[in-house]
């Protein structure tokens, strides 16, 4: 057994040799070998209990590689590590040590000023003071502000496990001033929000939040003021393996937003959003290929007006279409409304799997081929088939700390079987 320990030290993948030789060494088989100790390495700042509470594999129970892989995914899904690996180390008594090795991602930034780009709001100069993994307990504290395309300032805090049973807490205070492109109006939004969430086992998460908001729309000859309470609730069924870049799994999300004005007589709206995403890995190699499918429907009940309407044709809806402006608003009314249905299909392939650079920042490269389709629902149904927007194109994905992935897409927009637009898109995180 001693020489096997030396093999494990020299060869991280010595587990496979160990498993092969065990039957011939008159030792117990892997299925009977038990884990007598769990150790964590590489967490310089993160407290041990933050990782241990994500590990469901019990001590003194037989090795279960399915549990181990699920535990590894849960640790990676914390969003504070650029890499997670595991190993089994044999002891002289025939038991095993289960070891997890993590690489911590960016933990905090000094007060920093840098340019940012938002597809709908343009370029801004952003100031950020970020504490990711605050106090080593996977908490997030952020102070931020910006000038330019949007003028903002705010503070936010989130603890994904504030109590002992996966109960999360968040608070956000912000002010945002920006321009609505297609209405040519200035918008000032002030918001104070608190939220709670809870995981039920591994697959079901619920969330509820309450916010007090003030929204002012300023046009050349019109000012509209709204003060309201926003309540939000969401329930998700989530079997994805890795959140930032799923290789397999299903995500079903259903949310309800209720907006109630302080003047209850004129302003109340219920918004329902339903989303279904499915991911299937098409190979079994390190450079994974994934088929990803998504469908979204939005329904609105109650108060509607032009200030609260949506549009399709953007990085997060139908790609390949340029963002709408005042001209679009006049010439393409079928892109605007309060309800919509959209769907997407993506083929994702990793050219360079995510890895950690010499400076401790993860990197990599993936490509995507996609097709989007959707339409605005008018009066409860689609009035004209010509109103169905299509978008197809290609894109690249670059892993990036904290946000998961940077998204760059180029596409062609089509309607009525004719190419009507082409556009580049930038986004934070996967589209779905």
What value does the CA radius of gyration of the chain take, rounded to a whole number of Å? Answer: 25
Note the CATH number of domain 2-104.
3.10.20.310
Q: What is the mean pLDDT of the chain?
A: 88
d(CA 139, CA 132): 6
pLDDT tens digits, residue range 113-132? 888 888 888 888 989 998 98
Same fold, 107-238 and 281-432: yes
DSSP string for 353-365: EEEE-TTS-EEEE
Q: How confident is the model at residue 83 (pLDDT cuts 50, 70, 90)?
A: confident
Which of 178, 109, 105 lies closest to 144, judged by CA?
109
Check pLDDT > 70 for residue 175.
Answer: yes
pLDDT score recorded for residue 198: 93
| Residue 374 in this model has a pLDDT that exceeds 90 | yes
pTM for the model stands at: 0.82
- CA distance linking residue 394 with residue 309, whole number of Å: 29
Please tell me the predicted confidence (pLDDT) of residue 254: 98
Residue 142 in contact with residue 129, Cβ under 8 Å?
yes
- Cβ-defined contacts of 26-33 (< 8 Å, 24+): 27/1, 27/94, 28/94, 30/63, 31/62, 31/63, 32/62, 33/62, 33/63, 33/94, 33/95, 33/96
**3-state percent helix, strand, coil for the chain, nearest multiple of 5:** 10, 55, 30
Beta strands in 328-417 (DSSP E): 336-337, 339-356, 362-377, 389-400, 404-415
Confidence (pLDDT) at 31: 58
pLDDT value of residue 3: 42
Query: Residue 232: pLDDT above 50?
Result: yes
Mean pLDDT of 366-371: 98
pLDDT band at 143 (very low <50, low <70, confident <90, very high): very high
The CATH code belonging to domain 107-238 is: 2.40.160.50
Residue 394 or residue 403, greater confidence: 394
Please list the residues that pair with 123 across neighbouring strands: 117
pLDDT of 249 reads 96
User: Considering the chain, what percentage of its residues have pLDDT values greater than 70?
Assistant: 90
Query: Hunting for tokens 């000094």 — which residue is that?
Result: 110
pLDDT recorded at residue 20: 46
The pLDDT of residue 9: 43
Range with the poorest average pLDDT among 42-46, 202-206, 227-231, 383-387: 383-387
Q: DSSP class of residue 350?
A: E
Copy the structure tokens of residue 145.
């502000």
Instruction: Say if CB 150 and CB 187 are below 8 A apart.
Output: no
Phi, psi for residue 184 in degrees, rounded to 5: 50, 45
Residue 59, pLDDT score: 92
For the chain, the structural domain boundaries read 2-104, 107-238, 281-432
Higher pLDDT, 230 or 135: 230
Alpha carbons 113 and 126: distance in angstroms, whole number: 6
- Binned at pLDDT 50, 70 and 90, residue 402 comes out as confident
Query: How confident is the model at residue 360, as a pLDDT?
Result: 66
Euclidean distance between CA atoms 24 and 365, whole angstroms = 43
The pLDDT of residue 382: 61
**Tens-digit pLDDT profile for residues 329-350:** 999 999 999 999 999 999 999 9
Looking at residue 401, what is its pLDDT? 83
Contact 131/108 with Cβ under 8 angstroms?
A: yes
How, if at all, do strands 339-356 and 268-281 pair?
unpaired
Question: Cβ distance 84 to 76 under 8 Å?
Answer: yes
Class of domain 281-432 as given by CATH:
mainly beta
- Highest averaged pLDDT of the listed ranges 40-44, 55-59, 299-303, 365-369: 365-369
Residue of higher predicted confidence among 241 and 383: 241
Whole-number pLDDT of residue 361: 76
Whether residue 248 has pLDDT greater than 80 = yes
> What is d(CA 412, CA 392) in angstroms, rounded to the nearest whole number?
6
Nearby residues of 205 by Cβ (< 8 Å), 6 or more positions away: 197, 198, 199, 235, 236, 238
**pLDDT score of 176 more than 80:** yes
- With a pLDDT cut of 90, the percent of the chain lying above it is 65
Q: Which position has the higher pLDDT, 377 or 163?
A: 377
For residues 206 and 233, what is the distance between their CA atoms, to the nearest angstrom? 7
* Strand pairing class (289-302; 223-238): unpaired
Element (H, E) at 10: helix 2-10
Q: What pLDDT, on a 0 to 100 scale, did the predictor assign at position 221?
A: 81
Q: Is 9 helix (H, G, I), strand (E, B) or coil?
A: helix
Whether 80 and 138 have beta carbons less than 8 Å apart is answered as: yes
**H helix or E strand, kind and range, residue 6:** helix 2-10
Pick from 178, 373, 219, 201: nearest CA to 305:
219
Characterize the bridge pairing of strands 185-200 and 389-400.
unpaired
């Amino acid at each position: 057994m001693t020489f096997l320990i030396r093999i494990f030290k020299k060869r991280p993948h010595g587990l496979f040799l160990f498993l092969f030789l065990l039957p011939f060494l008159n030792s117990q088989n892997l299925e009977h070998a038990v884990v007598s100790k769990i150790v964590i390495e590489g967490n310089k700042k993160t407290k041990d209990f933050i990782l241990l509470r994500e590990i469901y594999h019990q001590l003194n129970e037989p090795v279960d590689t399915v549990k181990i892989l699920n535990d590894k995914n849960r640790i990676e899904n914390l969003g504070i590590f650029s890499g997670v690996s595991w190993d089994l180390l044999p002891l002289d008594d025939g038991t095993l040590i289960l070891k997890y090795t993590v690489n911590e991602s960016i933990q905090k930034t000094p007060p920093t000023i840098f340019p940012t780009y938002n597809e709908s709001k343009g370029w801004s100069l952003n100031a950020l003071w970020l504490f990711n993994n605050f106090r080593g307990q996977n908490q997030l504290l952020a102070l931020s502000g910006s000038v330019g395309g949007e003028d903002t300032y705010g503070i936010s805090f989130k603890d994904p496990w504030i109590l002992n049973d996966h109960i999360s807490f968040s608070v956000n205070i912000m002010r945002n001033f920006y321009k609505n492109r297609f209405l040519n109006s200035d918008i000032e939004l002030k918001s104070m929000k608190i939220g709670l969430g809870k995981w039920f086992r591994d697959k079901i998460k619920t969330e509820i939040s309450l916010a007090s908001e003030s929204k002012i729309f300023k046009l050349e000859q019109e000012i509209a003021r709204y003060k309201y309470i926003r309540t939000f609730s969401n329930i998700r069924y989530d079997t994805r393996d890795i959140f930032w870049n799923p290789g397999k799994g299903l995500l079903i999300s259903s949310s309800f937003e209720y907006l109630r004005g302080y003047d209850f007589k004129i302003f109340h709206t219920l918004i329902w959003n339903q989303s279904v995403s499915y991911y299937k890995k098409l190979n079994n190699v390190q450079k994974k290929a994934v088929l990803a499918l998504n469908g979204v429907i939005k329904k609105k009940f109650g108060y509607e007006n032009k200030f609260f309407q949506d549009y399709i044709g953007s990085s997060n809806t139908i790609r390949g279409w340029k963002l709408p402006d005042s001209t679009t608003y006049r010439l393409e009314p079928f892109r605007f409304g309060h309800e919509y249905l959209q769907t997407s299909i993506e083929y994702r392939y990793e050219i360079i799997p995510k890895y950690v650079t010499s400076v401790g920042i993860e990197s990599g490269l993936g490509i995507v081929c996609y097709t989007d389709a959707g339409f605005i629902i008018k009066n409860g149904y689609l009035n004209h088939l010509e109103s169905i927007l299509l978008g197809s194109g290609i894109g690249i994905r670059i892993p990036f700390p904290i946000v998961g992935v940077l998204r760059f897409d180029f596409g062609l927009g089509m309607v009525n079987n004719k190419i009507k637009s082409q556009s580049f898109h930038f986004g934070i995180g996967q589209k779905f």
